[in-house]
Amino acid sequence: MTAPVSLAWLDDAAEKRRVAGLHRTLLPRTSGSRLVDLASNDYLGLVRHPEVVAGAAAALRRWGAGSTGSRLVTGTTAEHELLERELAEFVGAEAGLVFASGYAANLGAVTALGGPGTLIVSDAGSHASLVDACRLSRSRVQVAPHADVEFVETALATRAEPRALVLTDSVFSADGDLAPLQALHRVCRAHDALLLVDEAHGVGVRGVGGRGLVHEVGLAGEPDVVVTATLSKSLAAQGGIVLGDSRIREHLIDTARTFIFDTGLAPAAVGAARSALRILREQPERATAVLQRAADLARITGVDAPESAVVSVILGDPTIAVGAAAACRERGLHVGCFRPPSVPAGTSRLRLTARADLETADLDLIASVLGDVLAEARV
């Protein structure tokens, strides 16, 4: 018998990450945790809402634990189709198609709408799932400097490909800033391109009653705008969706590989997302509250007023950011800590996310802990 292949290179790679402050550890949550959560994406504070849990439980009891197959075979329940219609109606799109995750929705949409003969222009700050989607799509890809509409226009105007697809997040996940959607749409219109907008951090936060940034800037229902979103942030569940013209839905059903070859989303997640959406419709003030709490977090940490739920406190060095996050945790605050490759080198940070249900007592604790921790970290 020959020896198994050596895994020593993994030790070397791990050591390099440790030295660079880029080693990661999993920190399991404990169900009775008293930590104030400033790290999750549960923007509307709905993940434990009794109606959301009941929605999941009802779907679980009715349809079982798993969806049992691909959407095209046995993995579509009435619940999936209802969520697709309800979410499409909510954001003002003609149709929706649920995927197993937001990541799969982006991979599926971009690969099905791209391919040879399509130029893709993607913002440099686009989410990793869009980056991977570009790579998988076998399109020619141009990465536009962040929010650089002129670059996008030149790329579209000078292309040889008959079709083009422009990709951007609506709310960028690391900095929480907004894409120039109207200007991007104008150049897409002028140059026969589709605009695909990832609203993972926009739905539930921006727009009237949380209908998203695309809705807010008046682009809802435009046939040349495709929206992707996750069900795992404001909608407190799991899964993803592509929203747009019904011909796009048809095209994805027939050609999106992450739709065709992936098992359908578990019914409980669909039931939870439907309940969360119902609550958001009935209580639109939850969306407003997220932005108000984000403004509170920005004031406490002395950073610019945020445009979304994401408040980034840049500390620079990854070791300092990790130390600050650990100090917060010891004093009862769970904050996000973003380091390369999630953010550019030199911009490691605490990433705080606002939740609609943060209370005054939480904000008092946050002010006290972050006041001390940031004073030390920023020295």
The residue ranges that bind ligand PMP (CB under 6 A) are 101-103, 106, 127, 129, 169, 173, 198, 200-201, 230, 232, 240
Residue showing the smallest CB distance to ligand PMP in the complex: 102
We find the least distance from the C-beta atom of residue 302 to ligand PMP, in angstroms, to be: 25
Cβ closer to ligand PMP: 153 or 169? 169
The pairing of strands 118-123 and 140-144 is parallel
> 3-class SS at 82?
helix
Residues sharing a CB contact under 8 Å with residue 5, sequence separation 6 or more, in sequence order? none
Biggest alpha carbon distance in the chain?
A: 67
The pairing of strands 193-198 and 225-230 is parallel
Cβ closer to ligand PMP: 240 or 244? 240
122: nearest Cα among 138, 145, 150, 106: 145
230: nearest Cα among 191, 261, 265: 265
> 3-class SS at 121?
strand
We find the least distance from the C-beta atom of residue 41 to ligand PMP, in angstroms, to be: 7
Contact yes or no for 95/246 (Cβ under 8 A): yes
Cβ closer to ligand PMP: 161 or 216? 216
289, containing H or E segment: helix 285-301
We find the least distance from the C-beta atom of residue 242 to ligand PMP, in angstroms, to be: 12
We find the least distance from the C-beta atom of residue 243 to ligand PMP, in angstroms, to be: 14
CA 94 from centroid of its chain's CA atoms: 22
Sign for the CA dihedral angle at 188, 189, 191, 196 comes to positive
Cβ closer to ligand PMP: 37 or 153? 37
We find the least distance from the C-beta atom of residue 3 to ligand PMP, in angstroms, to be: 39
The rounded distance, in Å, linking the Cα atoms of 305 and 274 is: 32
10, containing H or E segment: helix 8-19
Cβ closer to ligand PMP: 93 or 231? 231
> 3-class SS at 196?
strand
We find the least distance from the C-beta atom of residue 170 to ligand PMP, in angstroms, to be: 9
Structure tokens at 78: 């009435």
Cβ closer to ligand PMP: 227 or 327? 227
We find the least distance from the C-beta atom of residue 343 to ligand PMP, in angstroms, to be: 13
We find the least distance from the C-beta atom of residue 49 to ligand PMP, in angstroms, to be: 19
Cβ closer to ligand PMP: 331 or 334? 334
15, containing H or E segment: helix 8-19
Cβ closer to ligand PMP: 175 or 198? 198
We find the least distance from the C-beta atom of residue 125 to ligand PMP, in angstroms, to be: 10
The rounded distance, in Å, linking the Cα atoms of 362 and 324 is: 18
What is the arrangement of strands in the sheet containing 348-353, beginning at the earlier edge strand? 36-38, 333-338, 348-353, 310-316
